[in-house]
Amino acid sequence: MPVPRFLVKPAENGHYTIVECNQRALEYFSKKKENIIGKPMSDYIDSENARHFEQAFEVCMKQKVPVTIQALPSFPGGIRVYGFWINPLLDITGEAQLIDVMAQADTADDSILQRERDDAISLLTSIFDVSEVSIIVTDHHRRIVRVNDSFIRAFGWRRDDIIGEEFSFLVAEDERDLAIRNHDRMIESGMRSSGEMKIVRKDGAIANALFTTATLELSQRRRFQVATIMDITLRKQMEVSLRMAKERADAANNAKSSFLANMSHELRTPLNAIIGFSEIMMNETFGKLGSDKYGEYLGDIHLSARHLLEIINEVLDMSKIEAGRVDLDEQPYVIRDLLISVTRMMTSRAMSSKVEMDCDIEENLPGLVSDPRLIRQVFINLVSNAIKFSKESGTVYIRAFMQNDGDMVVTVQDEGIGIPEDKIQEALEPFGQITDSQHAKEQQGTGLGLPLAKAMVELHGGTLGLTSSPEKGTTVTVTFPERRVIPLRKSETQKIDAQNS
C-alpha cells in the first residue's frame, strides 16, 4: 500500500498493540518493526496521541462499525496523512478479532481544510454578532476595528461613529489616561485583565461598566485586544441607594437609641421622687394625712408611678440590647436558689390574682455561669407574664432540670388564655402585643416582657422557645448551653449562697 497501514489487536491490559504493519507505517511512526510489533502504542508515541488512537479502537471494537479519525495534531514521522480509516475485522460469529487501520492520503486539494476554516470563522462571527454581551475589538494602535450589535444597542453609538477611532474617546475623561496605559500594557504582555470603567454614551451620559479583556494574536504577529463590556449602571445606582438607605436607617436607629436613653433618664429621675415621696406620705412619716381618701389616692399614685418606672426600664433595656451596649457581668452562682427567690418574690402577686405557684427544681441542679441580674430579670418577666395571663384558680408551673446532652432547661408554664399559633412570632417581637378585646385588661403593658427575656437569654448563648394554645395555656422553655453549666462543690455553693443573700 502507498499509505501507512497496520493491524491492531486488543491486549489483556486494556491497551492495543500492533500485530502487523507495512513499511509506510514504520516510516509514519519513525520506528523499527521490532520496536512496534506487540507493544502498546504509548511506548512509541506520546500519551495524547496514543489515547486518541485507543479511544477510536475502543469504539470500533464495541460498536463493530468502521470509524474515521482525523490526522493527529503532531506527526511522529515524515509522512503527512489526512486521517485514518479504522475497520473491525469480524470472525464467522460476528465478533471483532482485529482492527484494520489505513491512512488517508494527504492530497494537494485544500478544499476540505478551507471549508472547515470557513465554517469556524462563520461560527465565531455568529457568536460575536448575536452575543448579548457588548464586545469591542481594538488593534495595537488603540483603534477600534470591530464592535458587535450589543455594544451599539447598549451605548447608542453608530458603527460609522467609532470604527477606526481611538477607543479612549469612549472612556470617561477622568479614567482615560489609565485606560490607555492599561491597553498598551496588555497588548504588549498578552495578559488578561478585568475591572470597572466609565463609558461615555452617544448622548453624553456616563455609564458604569464591568469589563474583561484578552489579547488575540493573528498572523504576522498582529495583536488585537478583545474586550467584553457589561453595563452595570442600574446595579451601581441600586448599590448607592441601598448604602444611603442603610446610612439613614443607622442614623435613625442611633437617634432612636439616644432619644430612648435620654428620655428614660429624664423620666426616671422625677418618677423616683414621686415614688419616694408617696411612700413617705403613705407611711405617714411626718404625721397623719387627715383623710382616708388621701391614702387611697397615694396608693394609686405609688402603684402608677412604679408601673411607669417598670415600663421605662424595659424600654431602656431593649434599646441597650438593640444597640449592643449590654456588658455581661458573668459569675458562677446557684441557679436553683435564684429560681426559688423569684418564686417567693412573685408569690404575693400570684395570691392577689388567685393563682397558685408550683415550683419543681432538681435538688442536685448544677450551677450556672452568667449575669445573675439579667437571668433574674428573665424569670421575673416570664413568671409575671404567666400570672398575668392565668385564669383564676389556675396554676403556674416552674420546672428546672438537666438534659442528656448537658444543657440546662427551665420551663415556665401557665393554664391561661394562651396565644394562637400564628401569633407566637408576633408576641416575641419588641412591642408586639396580641390584640384581643376579650383580654384587654391582661394585655396592658409595652409588649417587651417576652422579647426582653428572649434577647437576654440569647446574649448568654441560650434559646427561648414558646408553645401555646388558646384557652389551654402557654409554656416558655429556656435552654442554657452546656458550656455555661458548672458543677459546684459544697464549699463553693455555700460561698455563693452567702453572696446572693
DSSP output for 103-136? EEE--S--HHHHHHHHHHHHHHHHHHHH-SSEEE
CATH (domain of 153): 3.30.450.20
Q: Are residues 262 and 366 in the same domain?
A: no
> Which domain-ending residue is among 107, 142, 159?
107
Q: Are residues 192 and 61 in the same domain?
A: no
Q: Are residues 335 and 477 in the same domain?
A: yes
Q: With H, G, I as helix, E, B as strand and everything else as coil, classify residue 226.
A: strand
Please give the pLDDT value at position 77. 57
Q: Are residues 356 and 474 in the same domain?
A: yes
CB 228 within 8 A of CB 134: yes
Q: Are residues 130 and 269 in the same domain?
A: no
CB 349 within 8 A of CB 376: no
CB atoms within 10 A of CB 423: 17
Question: 336: closest CA among 396, 273, 400?
Answer: 400
* Domains identified in the chain, total number: 4
Which one-letter DSSP state was computed for residue 429? S
Grid cell digits, residue 305: 408611678
Q: Are residues 342 and 441 in the same domain?
A: yes
CATH (domain of 476): 3.30.565.10
- Of 47 and 356, the one with more pLDDT: 356
Q: Are residues 87 and 199 in the same domain?
A: no
Q: Are residues 13 and 77 in the same domain?
A: yes
CB 434 within 8 A of CB 447: no
Q: Are residues 153 and 61 in the same domain?
A: no
Residue 89 has pLDDT above 80, yes or no: yes
Q: Please tell me the number of Cα atoms within 13 Å of 281 on its side-chain side.
A: 20
Please give the pLDDT value at position 493. 47
Q: With cut-offs at 50, 70 and 90, classify the pLDDT of residue 424.
A: confident
The model's pLDDT over 5-58, given as tens digits with 9 standing for 90+, comes to 999 999 888 889 999 999 988 888 888 899 899 988 888 888 888 888 888 898
Percent of the chain with pLDDT over 90: 37
Farthest-apart Cα atoms in the chain, separation: 137
Please give the pLDDT value at position 74. 52
Please give the pLDDT value at position 296. 82
Please give the pLDDT value at position 498. 42
Q: Please tell me the number of Cα atoms within 13 Å of 69 on its side-chain side.
A: 19
> Which domain-ending residue is among 107, 139, 154?
107
Grid cell digits, residue 432: 408586639
- Provide the mean pLDDT of the chain: 84
φ and ψ at residue 196, rounded to 5 degrees: -115, 150
Ranges of beta strands (E only) in 405-462 are 408-413
- The 3 state secondary structure assigned to 47-106 is HHHHHHHHHHHHHHHHHCCCEEEECCCCCCCCCCEEEEEEEEEECCCCCEEEEEEEEEEC
> Which domain-ending residue is among 231, 250, 279?
231
Q: With cut-offs at 50, 70 and 90, classify the pLDDT of residue 72.
A: low
Q: At residue 111, what is the residue type?
A: S
Q: Are residues 433 and 335 in the same domain?
A: yes
Question: 217: closest CA among 247, 194, 186?
Answer: 186
CB 233 within 8 A of CB 208: yes
Average pLDDT on 202-222 reads 88
Grid cell digits, residue 278: 408617696
Residue 124 has pLDDT above 90, yes or no: no
Of 25-29, 356-360, 411-415, where does mean pLDDT reach its minimum? 25-29
Q: With cut-offs at 50, 70 and 90, classify the pLDDT of residue 220.
A: confident
Of 76-90, 134-148, 312-326, 485-499, where does mean pLDDT reach its minimum? 485-499
CATH (domain of 278): 1.10.287.130
> Which residues form the domain of 184?
114-231
Please give the pLDDT value at position 433. 61
Q: In what order do the strands lie in the sheet with 81-90?
A: 16-21, 5-10, 96-105, 81-90, 67-70
Instruction: Give the span between the Cα atoms of 72 and 59, in whole angstroms.
Output: 17
Q: Are residues 491 and 353 in the same domain?
A: yes
Q: Are residues 378 and 468 in the same domain?
A: yes
CB 230 within 8 A of CB 134: yes
Residue 226 has pLDDT above 80, yes or no: yes
